[in-house]
Structure 1
Amino acid sequence: MTEQDRYKKMDISVLYVEDEPAAREKTARMLKREVRTIYLAEDGVEGLEIFKRHNPDIVITDIKMPRMDGLDMTRAIKEINKLTPVIVTTAHDDTAFFLKSIEIGIDRYVLKPIDQSLLTETLVEFAETIRRTEELRQKNKLLEEYKRAVDVSSILCKTDTGWRITYANDAFCGISGFTCAELTGKEYLFVIKHDKQEIMLRDMRSNLESNNIWKGIIEHRRKDDTSCFIDLTALPILDADDKVVEFIYIGNDVTELIDLNSRLKKLSDTDTLTQAYNRMAFNNIIETEMQRAKRYKTPLSLILFDIDNFKKINDNFGHLAGDEALKRLACIVSATIRNVDILVRWGGEEFVVIAPETNLSAANEAAERLREAIEGSDFDGIGSVTSSFGVSQFREDDHPGALIKRADEALYKAKEKGKNRVELEQ
């Protein structure tokens, strides 16, 4: 970044809602130096009206305010535009607040008194995400124009009811690198990176076998073993007696778009220290997994855990050593869990593993494997580290907060019983 760029205002608009005049004035002065446009409000009612009128790029809000608090205002804003980033300035650290924040979709927290340099860094990060999102929107628009201008069947493949390829057109062969002769007779799985797409492929097959159309983006395998992504529509072909005789797959190459989207999602969804998913990503992932568990009536479990006595590590070895311990822990867990499991850094030294198609008993065994792997690993410069675990299983009437709460209560019980152990929900 050049000196000139450093003092160039971010090309974003910010709504700042704060009922305390001194705090509002101090932070507003900083914001006026950093961003193109700032809107100020004294409470949630005024803030919501300004949001409806001006649709700012980012919202920064206090929580406790007269007439309408910051969380209720955020809920209303997310109903208007769920993509608007909301930063909450708070002195709260209680579980109820964070559970409500998860439900609403708060994007970031900044503790009071506000560290202005931290707030600026957060705005820079969101400004970059907004810029990239706009780039993605423009590319999406171009892609739609492209699709409209070309034949929708430019990439086409057919299989029989046994999922064996019977035909692939030139465009399909061109993107995959295989000839039609090389593909004919092979199972469709032959050209799909199926090891990480088991659930999606099962969903596709289930729809097709039920005579339904399926749409989605599938990662395909090229002949040189690199990947390409096809925005695919798969549909059953019926004969005069409504019997399925074959399946047809029509798609477009969206590899460039997916690459861009992956970089954007990595920027917004990844914890920079541990490379695990962050809390913002958790909200979307858990909703998707809960819906899938309901639809297919499959189990879903949550494993919440943290490093025991983490404060002592920071106090005795320093915060850099603490950071290295968190990174080491994330590596150990990532190497131990399944491909379909999802690791999230919940905050501080706390982590969550989302375990699809896993009941409470299996999740208990998985948590025990993690506990043993962590305890049996060497943490450079620190020595041995242990962790405590709380495990909960999704119930049909659950919302994300309830699932997390039961895992948190189980984790608390593990701490009370001496740490370095696994406890299950009640």
Structure 2
Amino acid sequence: MIAVQTNVKVLYVEDEPGARDMLTRLLKRRIRDVKVAKNGQEALELFMAFRPDIVITDIKMPFLNGLELIRHIRAIDEHVQIIITTAYDDNDFFIRAIEYGVNHFILKPIDHEKFLQSLQHSIYQRQLELELEKQKQYTRTIIDFQENLICILNEERLLDCNLSFQRFFGKEQMEQLRAGRTHVCDYFLHEPGYFYMKGERRWIRPLIDRTIPFLKVKLMCNRGEEHVFLVKATSFPDEQESYLVVFTDITALEEESKRNEFLATKDPLTKTFNRLKFDEFFTREIQRAKRYKHTFSIILFDIDHFKKVNDTYGHDVGDAVLVRMCEAISNRLRDCDIFARWGGEEFIILAPATSRTGAYRLAESLRHLVETVHFPKVGHITCSFGVCEYEQGMTKEQMVKRADEALYEAKREGRNRVVVNE
């Protein structure tokens, strides 16, 4: 399920009234800012004024057909996400659409689940692009305004440097550098994701040769604080053995990037993994199970009569119930278990190296746990669980379907129980 998007703008184009009304309602339940056009010409005018993040368009339309509309849009904006809804099913059409940079194809009649998956992917891609652009702006700001560490090096020693460089390394390390007893690369910290080349003083050469545009390194200043830098270098025109090296501090940007990476993988309310990240773990676990003949299980569950909680106490209380329940369950799970929000009040757990018997025991313990937790205002709630163990050759979709069938059976048998798909 897509949470309501307040920072995404969507333009939807469809000339057929019935299809337009149906999909418009679906969109407006999930996207706050939606504009609708009845034909290609109207859509192009709206695009110019509205500048949406995502365009969803039919192909066969009066005045200006969908492919012509897309061609005009791509001339204006290369990054906008484009989803086509069409009854066409021929290779020439798809080749032309791909040439125009279409991101997703949805064949009519529209499968709402597939459509929402495509929409979610487009939202995610657009947000990544915006975040990347934001980070680029941060980098430019840092380069323009921060006091960079600037030094002149040859392959043997430090020749000169600015005050920021001296303050960063401190008196003792500066003496070592100036005397040639140490080199700048000797202070690079050896950590994954950062450039490291201990004792190799030709580390600048790839920057000078333009083999790579920059290096990302981590250094510790004389006060014991770790900083991350982007390193660029150039040689002097008449002195090919001397290099001007600039260290641009991107520590704040790196921390922001890691925070954004965290947010991109988590459900903002419950802090469990989101569906997109869970799918990555799920794919990896199936590949591992195929390769090593291991087994694992998934547990799909939801809260019984949760709509009644929202209707009786309001969505704020309902949200508090979700948060409290997820905290309790997270504390009970193993470190290797993957816990994610599947949608609404429905959640999923991936339990590595766990048979259906072990998964049943885990689900039963969680069922009992939830049943005993006291929730403010609401009191007590219950959950129903469906369990499926991986069998060789199964796909993700098949596992989820079986777990969902087991969950449905648990509901049908009276709720607050665990059912294992056999």
| Paired residues of 1:343 and 1:354 also in contact (CA < 8 A) | yes
- Going from structure 1 to structure 2, the CA distance change for 1:107 and 1:13 (only over 3 Å counts) comes to closer
Aligned to 1:372: 368
SS in 1 for 2:279: helix
Matched with 2:160 is none
Is 2:284 the partner of 1:268? no
Q: TM-score, normalised by structure 1?
A: 0.55
Aligned counterparts, 1:251-262, within 5 A = 259-262=255-258
Moved more, 405-414 or 32-41: 32-41
User: Match for 1:408 among 401, 404, 407?
Assistant: 404
Name 1:108's counterpart in structure 2. Answer: 120
1:57 alignment counterpart:
80
The CA distance in 2 between the partners of 1:337 and 1:314, in whole Å, is 27
Larger Rg: 2
The answer to whether residue 215 in structure 2 is matched with residue 175 in structure 1 is no
1:33-56 deviation line (CA, Å, top 9, x unaligned): 432688674239976787699354
Alpha-carbon distance in 2 for matches of 1:44, 1:392: 44
How far apart are the structure 2 equivalents of 1:172 and 1:276? 41
Alignment of 1:279 with 2:275, yes or no, is yes
Alignment CA distance shift 1:40-1:375 (3 Å): closer
Contact 1:314 1:322 in 2 (8 A): yes
User: 1:305–1:350: 8 Å Cα contact kept in structure 2?
Assistant: yes
Partner of 2:142: none
Unaligned stretches of 5+ in structure 1?
1-9, 110-121, 141-150, 152-168, 178-225, 230-253
Alpha-carbon distance in structure 1 between the residues aligned to 2:335 and 2:314: 33
Question: What amino acid does structure 1 have at the position aligned with 2:132?
Answer: T
Number of the residue aligned with 1:129: 128
Matched residues, number? 303
Residues 153-187 of structure 1, C-alpha deviations (whole Å, 9 max, x = no match): xxxxxxxxxxxxxxxx996886379xxxxxxxxxx
Tell me, in whole angstroms, the C-alpha distance in 2 between the residues paired with 1:91 and 1:258. 45
Kept in 2, the 8 Å contact 1:304–1:390? The answer is yes
Q: Give TM-score scaled by structure 2 length.
A: 0.55
Q: Unaligned regions of 5+ residues in structure 2, if any?
A: 1-6, 22-35, 140-154, 156-182, 192-224, 229-249
Other structure's SS at 2:373 match:
coil
User: Relative to 1, partners in 2 of residues 1:25 and 1:387: Cα closer, same or farther, differing over 3 Å?
Assistant: same
Question: Per-residue deviation at 1:344?
Answer: 1.2
Query: Counterpart of 1:398?
Result: 394
Greater than 4 Å deviation, 4+ residue runs = 12-17, 21-24, 26-33, 36-40, 44-53, 125-128, 134-140, 169-174, 226-229, 254-261
- Provide the rounded CA distance (Å) in 2 between the counterparts of 1:380 and 1:228: 44
Q: Deviations over 1:330-384 (max 9, x none)?
A: 1112111111111111111100111222221111111112111111111111001
1:9-158 superposed matches below 5 A: 16=12, 18-20=14-16, 24-25=36-37, 28=43, 32-35=48-51, 41-43=57-59, 54=74, 56-60=79-83, 65-67=86-88, 98=113, 106-108=118-120, 127-134=126-133
Query: How is 1:290-309 mapped onto 2 (pairs within 5 angstroms)?
Result: 290-309=286-305
Q: What is residue 343 of structure 1 aligned with on the other side? A: 339
Distance 1:172 1:294 in 2: 44
| Structure 1 residue matching 2:189: 3-state secondary structure | helix
Provide, for residues 276-305 of structure 1, a one-character-per-residue CA deviation record: whole Å limited to 9, x for no partner: 222222332211221122222221211100
- Contact persistence 1:301–1:393 (CA under 8 A): yes
Contact persistence 1:269–1:277 (CA under 8 A):
yes
Write the letter of the residue equivalent to 1:25.
A
Q: Would you say the 8 A contact 1:277–1:343 is kept in 2?
A: yes
**Native 8 Å contact 1:14 1:58 kept in 2:** no
Amino acid at match of 1:106: S
3-state DSSP class of the match of 1:338? coil
- Give the corresponding residue for 1:325: 321
Corresponding residue number in structure 1 for 2:159:
none
Rounded Cα–Cα distance in structure 1 between residues aligned with 2:226 and 2:109: 46
